[in-house]
Homo-oligomer: A and B are copies of this chain.
Amino acid sequence: MGQDTPPSRTSSSSSFEGIARSSGAVKAKARNLGVDYVISFRFTTADQKRAEAQLERLVHSLDRVGLRVEAREGRNGSVLVFVRIKSQMKFMAEVYRSRVKDWLHGIRPAAPDKETQKSLDLEPVTDAERLRLVYLMITLPPGEGGAGITPKQGEWDLVESIFALHDREFEKEWLKRWSTSWTISKDDLTTLRDKFGEKVGFYFAFMQSYFAFLIYAGIFGAGSYFLLPAYSPLFALANGLWSIIFVEWWRRQEIDLAVRWGVRGCARIQNRRAAFKADKEVEDPVTGQRVPVFSAWKRLGRQSLQLPFAILTCGLLASLFAGVFAIEIFLSEVYNGPGKSLLVFLPTVLLSVFVPTISAILTTIARRLNDFENYENADSYEYAMTQKIFVLNVITSYVPLFLTAFVYVPFAAYIVPHLDVFHIITMPVMTDEKHEAPLTPGPFQINPDRLRKQVIYFTVTAQVVSLALEFIVPTVKRKIFKKAKQIQSSRKDMENKGASRDKEEEREFLESVRDQAELDVYDVNADLREMTTQFGYLALFSPIWPLTAVSFIVNNWIELRSDAAKICIEMQRPIPLRADSIGPWLDNLSFLSWLGSITSAALIYLFNDESSSPSGTPKSLTLWGVLAAILLSEHLYFVARMVVRLALSKIESEGLVRERRERFLVRRRYLEESMGLEASLERERKVSLVQGEELDLDEVVQDEVERSFWLEPRGAAAVGKEIIGRAAQKKKQ
């Protein structure tokens, strides 16, 4: 176990890093009794014989790949199977082998040191690396050296989950450190990555970069809010440029981090999903091995189902929003009948009921579609799923604001009178005395503040609510469930004294594991989605309310820390997967930044001289004006992006330079080491010099004319001088 701790890192001065890197790891492992993973095996759904057989097979499979296994009782009809590495030495060979594989695929620029032990001393195994490799040992198919355990699938239907155990001491230190510091350093992020893996590391790195960039946006925003007129084109330009710089900067930062963490291109090593169904086997042109594949054209055919799905999604959600919106406008601005004070809540109720329901249904369809598309590995599966969710998310997040900005405000004067259709429906309910007024509504007044209020709602209220929901609701839920289960369990305990069968010294540990078994699985994509959506509000709508960024600064300072707390307290410890980026979210950010160039232009054009038309109806607006504004803004966006990319490419990325240097050194070393090439070249050169040129030419030239041409006895300089001399003489004559 000593190999886990590096031989005294001089740079690690902070106690936080110290905890993470040395003593902490040892103590934590001691506290978790050396357990790497816990497998929850729930036998209640099967009969005794099948359950016993599957459990025996599970234990045997794990043992076969070199894992030590123990079992203890879980809650409510489950067995907790504890897993750890059997032989430290064998595991170190596994680590070394994985590093060599990385190098073979070009993920590491340099091969690990040739002596296994030396290599491990130079690059100690981090918690994340150990857990990742043990996870692979548990889940890889038997053919690729794993036990092939796939929870809830096929022959492992009783395996409920596989999870790692929290390192409470590290986490306490982590939360304390982050909640008391303003910024998060690169070292902090690396420590985090050493514990939770690159995927989680990238999320927090992104959060921190985004937070740092938000400060600039907040300064522009506040400045614009107090100094510039509303809907200032200047602010929109600054905001657009900011979004471009942020996205492009992160694009480079991501690469830099991936190189620094040694995971650049790690997507090249992919393990097949258990659910993948191949339709034929072909020879891999690179490695020469036979691999199962699924025809890309067949997949394209299946993917084409996304189009009707997208149309369905858009149609369903957009018409829901439009309908509710119409009702809302009607109720708040036209309707004057009885029960208005109650009816105004109708839209909110409708949305609260229908949006989550429809979203849930659509998400289920999306997942089915994604399964059907039969992706070969987890990354491509996740990518495709993420993009489907993103579409859903864009619609639910931004359509309400689009409706207000681009339908309600410009066209309300034409549309609202037609909302009388509701009026006719509601007429019978109305009393006679109020009959006249609503039928002939007075000059309609657009509510110009509606848009701003809506943006504030989405960027402040909704963020606060979501933050609260994300943290408070699960806590409460967990407490209530635990209570309920305790009551339930205690009734059973009366009969069989459940947990009391634990050995005294193990009880506390086992109870903690049983608690962790009931926690949710952390999904980093949900957090990334949340941040992307937030970035979208900023890119798309902040000209409406320039303080948006300021609100986000406050929100995200808390969000960053509450996400850390969420991982530690609300969730099972995330399995440390590798990643070399935030995945498709970068493209989504880029997409939103582009969309922002369009919406900003349209917003500025529509609302810029709002002040001059106090009625709220934008006047003298033309279709060509808005189109020209969009065209101009979009092209400005493209040009700005090109310039920013060019400028950023001029700045040498530290990580990339290091990588290039390492690759260069590896090659040179190879060259020098392998057989003294330079020396042999030198030798040959000397030989040729000794032999002299005449001899060489003699050997080569058989042609008589050629020989006499080259073997002119006087030499070139003399011949040349003679020619020059002759010409000079002639001139004199």
A→B interface (CB under 8 Å): 1-2, 30, 33-34, 41, 43-44, 48, 51-52, 55-56, 59-60, 68-73, 77, 79, 81-82, 84, 86-90, 92-93, 96-97, 100, 103-104, 106, 111, 114, 116, 285-288, 296, 495-496, 503, 505-506, 622-624, 627-628, 630-631, 650, 652, 657, 660-661, 663-664, 667-668, 670-671, 674-675, 677, 680-681, 684-685, 687-689, 691, 693, 696-697, 699-701, 703, 705-706, 708-710, 712, 715-717, 719-721, 723-728, 730
- A68 and B693 in contact (CB under 8 A), knowing A706-B33, A720-B55? yes
Q: By the criterion CB–CB under 8 Å, are A59 and B725 in contact?
A: no
Q: By the criterion CB–CB under 8 Å, are A114 and B627 in contact?
A: no
**Alpha-carbon distance A72/B720, docked complex (angstroms):** 7
**Alpha-carbon distance A689/B81, docked complex (angstroms):** 23
User: What are 24 inter-chain pairs, A to B, with CB distance below 8 A?
Assistant: A30-B703, A34-B700, A34-B703, A48-B724, A48-B728, A52-B724, A59-B715, A59-B716, A59-B720, A77-B727, A87-B689, A88-B699, A89-B687, A89-B688, A104-B668, A116-B684, A286-B660, A287-B664, A495-B730, A505-B708, A622-B624, A623-B628, A624-B624, A630-B631
Query: Which chain B residues lie closer than 8 Å to A60 at the CB level?
Result: 717
Cβ-defined partner of A71 (8 Å) among B495, B723, B730: B723
Query: Which chain B residues lie closer than 8 Å to A696 at the CB level?
Result: 86-89
**Alpha-carbon distance A79/B726, docked complex (angstroms):** 12
Query: Which chain B residues lie closer than 8 Å to A34 at the CB level?
Result: 700-701, 703, 706, 710
Cβ-defined partner of A724 (8 Å) among B43, B663, B726, B727: B43
Q: By the criterion CB–CB under 8 Å, are B33 and A703 in contact?
A: yes
Query: Which chain B residues lie closer than 8 Å to A650 at the CB level?
Result: 296
Cβ-defined partner of A286 (8 Å) among B56, B287, B657: B657
**Alpha-carbon distance A116/B683, docked complex (angstroms):** 12
The 8 lowest CB-CB distance pairs between A and B, nearest first, are A624-B624, A627-B627, A71-B720, A90-B688, A89-B688, A69-B716, A48-B728, A71-B719
Query: Which chain B residues lie closer than 8 Å to A708 at the CB level?
Result: 503, 505
Copies in the complex: 2
Query: Which chain B residues lie closer than 8 Å to A716 at the CB level?
Result: 59, 69-71, 81-82
Cβ-defined partner of A68 (8 Å) among B114, B660, B687, B697: B697
Query: Which chain B residues lie closer than 8 Å to A664 at the CB level?
Result: 104, 286-287
**Alpha-carbon distance A658/B89, docked complex (angstroms):** 38
Query: Which chain B residues lie closer than 8 Å to A100 at the CB level?
Result: 671, 677
Given A52-B724, A82-B709, A89-B687, 14 other A-B contacts at CB below 8 A? A2-B700, A33-B703, A48-B725, A55-B721, A71-B723, A86-B697, A87-B689, A93-B688, A104-B664, A116-B684, A286-B661, A287-B661, A296-B650, A627-B628
Q: By the criterion CB–CB under 8 Å, are A667 and B103 in contact?
A: yes
| Minimum distance in angstroms from A412 CB to a CB of chain B | 21
- A663 and B624 in contact (CB under 8 A), knowing A33-B703, A55-B720, A687-B89? no
Query: Which chain B residues lie closer than 8 Å to A92 at the CB level?
Result: 684
Query: Which chain B residues lie closer than 8 Å to A717 at the CB level?
Result: 55-56, 59-60, 71
Query: Which chain B residues lie closer than 8 Å to A505 at the CB level?
Result: 705, 708
**Alpha-carbon distance A194/B59, docked complex (angstroms):** 64
Query: Which chain B residues lie closer than 8 Å to A684 at the CB level?
Result: 89-90, 92-93, 116
Query: Which chain B residues lie closer than 8 Å to A48 at the CB level?
Result: 724-725, 728
Q: By the criterion CB–CB under 8 Å, are B70 and A712 in contact?
A: yes
Q: By the criterion CB–CB under 8 Å, are B90 and A685 in contact?
A: yes
Cβ-defined partner of A96 (8 Å) among B82, B624, B681, B691: B681
Cβ-defined partner of A667 (8 Å) among B90, B104, B675: B104
Cβ-defined partner of A705 (8 Å) among B81, B104, B506, B624: B506
Q: By the criterion CB–CB under 8 Å, are B33 and A705 in contact?
A: yes
- A709 and B33 in contact (CB under 8 A), knowing A685-B93, A719-B72? yes
Least CB separation from A662: chain B residue: B286
Least CB separation from A712: chain B residue: B70
Most chain-B CB neighbours within 10 Å: which of A89, A111, A709?
A: A709
Query: Which chain B residues lie closer than 8 Å to A720 at the CB level?
Result: 41, 52, 55-56, 59, 71, 79, 81
Query: Which chain B residues lie closer than 8 Å to A661 at the CB level?
Result: 285-288
Query: Which chain B residues lie closer than 8 Å to A657 at the CB level?
Result: 285-286
**Alpha-carbon distance A104/B717, docked complex (angstroms):** 39
**Alpha-carbon distance A77/B725, docked complex (angstroms):** 11
Query: Which chain B residues lie closer than 8 Å to A96 at the CB level?
Result: 681
Query: Which chain B residues lie closer than 8 Å to A33 at the CB level?
Result: 703, 705-706, 709-710
Query: Which chain B residues lie closer than 8 Å to A687 at the CB level?
Result: 89
**Alpha-carbon distance A111/B104, docked complex (angstroms):** 16
Query: Which chain B residues lie closer than 8 Å to A288 at the CB level?
Result: 661
| Minimum distance in angstroms from A401 CB to a CB of chain B | 22
| Minimum distance in angstroms from A67 CB to a CB of chain B | 10
**Alpha-carbon distance A106/B286, docked complex (angstroms):** 18
Least CB separation from A700: chain B residue: B1
Query: Which chain B residues lie closer than 8 Å to A104 at the CB level?
Result: 664, 667-668, 671
**Alpha-carbon distance A728/B47, docked complex (angstroms):** 8
**Alpha-carbon distance A285/B703, docked complex (angstroms):** 51
**Alpha-carbon distance A86/B698, docked complex (angstroms):** 11
Cβ-defined partner of A693 (8 Å) among B86, B496, B699: B86
**Alpha-carbon distance A664/B284, docked complex (angstroms):** 12
Q: By the criterion CB–CB under 8 Å, are B670 and A670 in contact?
A: yes
Query: Which chain B residues lie closer than 8 Å to A667 at the CB level?
Result: 103-104
**Alpha-carbon distance A700/B91, docked complex (angstroms):** 13
Q: By the criterion CB–CB under 8 Å, are A70 and B693 in contact?
A: no
Query: Which chain B residues lie closer than 8 Å to A706 at the CB level?
Result: 30, 33-34
| Minimum distance in angstroms from A724 CB to a CB of chain B | 5
| Minimum distance in angstroms from A605 CB to a CB of chain B | 13
Cβ-defined partner of A79 (8 Å) among B285, B671, B685, B724: B724
Least CB separation from A63: chain B residue: B716
Least CB separation from A720: chain B residue: B71
Q: By the criterion CB–CB under 8 Å, are A723 and B671 in contact?
A: no
Cβ-defined partner of A624 (8 Å) among B73, B84, B623, B712: B623
**Alpha-carbon distance A286/B87, docked complex (angstroms):** 41
**Alpha-carbon distance A674/B670, docked complex (angstroms):** 10
**Alpha-carbon distance A44/B701, docked complex (angstroms):** 35
Q: By the criterion CB–CB under 8 Å, are A116 and B724 in contact?
A: no
Cβ-defined partner of A90 (8 Å) among B43, B72, B689: B689
**Alpha-carbon distance A709/B70, docked complex (angstroms):** 8
Least CB separation from A27: chain B residue: B703
Q: By the criterion CB–CB under 8 Å, are B627 and A79 in contact?
A: no
**Alpha-carbon distance A496/B721, docked complex (angstroms):** 17
**Alpha-carbon distance A535/B699, docked complex (angstroms):** 53
